[in-house]
Structure 1
Amino acid sequence: MEQHVYEVAFLPDPIRVPEMRRAATAFLRRSGISGPVVDDVALAATELVTNAIRHGDGAVHLCVSAVGGELRVSVTDQSPDRAEVRHADVEEVSGRGLFLVAAFAHSWGSSGQETWCTFRYPLGDDGAVAA
């Protein structure tokens, strides 16, 4: 079974968010994954990284992996606080990130330092990424 992994650690600076989105997208395309799931993973990476930068502590670590038809996006920081879905008021301009991740992802969770989500992608009969 093929496994593809992209990992990067960086200091918590909002300027890194679009870079991480582009890196996650490029990783998926290099891994042969295409279609709507690429946009969903890019959105999730953006939201989880933004959350870690805004609410976390210390360096941020992004890991995107693809194995066996499952994509996993994981973001860790040094904060022991678990990420929780907020229900932002209509007039609020932020606070919907985890709500979006929960809506688009197959599953998601937070253990405190790590917040993660998973997505499914199609495999061919040989177990490789379906084109």
Structure 2
Amino acid sequence: MTPTAAIKWPAPIASFRLIPRLGVDVAFSRSDGTVGGTISEADGIWPKRMRSIVRAGLSRWERPELIEDAETLVTELVTNALRHGRGDIRVRFYLAVDCIRIEVQDGSHETPVLRNAAPTDEDGRGLFLVRAVASDWGISTDGMTTWCALNF
């Protein structure tokens, strides 16, 4: 049986499972203040938390060369999930044979759209960055999960 670690942030907001050498699974509930495309101050901490978790996982798996790109990817995907998704958010990242895969589930069946933001736009570049940085990326058939991969 594979050992796991569970950490609870102020209950019942989040759960965290570390499966050594395999992956990390984090689920959290958005606060009541995150609605209509705005992210509350309470939820604004999640991209930073996820960057720290990704950094720790990749350090543990001896993949420091992937940290900077993985932090960029998880930040963009979590921010998009907070801004455009519904309900709880789940972030998973794990090692595959030749890559790390990052998945963010946002509870919305609306398919994310890759935009070409104008230079004066304040947002709209998240998936553009994901496409530019990731080795591969996509959206699940139900539209609820956006994923990306970084090859090593």
Return the TM-score normalized by structure 1.
Answer: 0.86
RMSD of Structure 2 on Structure 1 (CA): 1.4
Structure 1: runs of 5+ lacking an equivalent? 122-131
Which range moves more in the overlay, 54-63 or 6-15?
6-15
Q: Structure 2 CA distance, aligned partners of 1:47 and 1:98?
A: 7
**Count of aligned pairs:** 119
Is the counterpart of residue 114 in structure 1 residue 132 in structure 2? no
Can you give the 5+ residue segments of structure 2 that lack an aligned partner in the other structure? 1-19, 31-42
1:48 equivalent among 68, 77, 80? 77
Q: Aligned partner of 1:72: which letter?
A: R
**1:1-131 matched pairs, under 5 angstroms:** 3-12=21-30, 13-35=43-65, 37-111=66-140, 112-121=143-152
1:117 maps to amino acid: C
Q: TM-score with structure 2 length normalisation?
A: 0.74
Higher relative contact order (CA 8 A, sep 6+): 1
Q: Secondary structure at the match of 1:14?
A: helix
Q: Which runs of 4+ in 1 moved over 6 A?
A: none
Instruction: Tell me how far 1:79 sits from its aligned partner.
Output: 0.3
Aligned-residue sequence identity (percent) comes to: 37
Q: Measure how far apart 1:3 and its partner are.
A: 4.9
The residue matched to 2:94 in structure 1 has which SS? strand
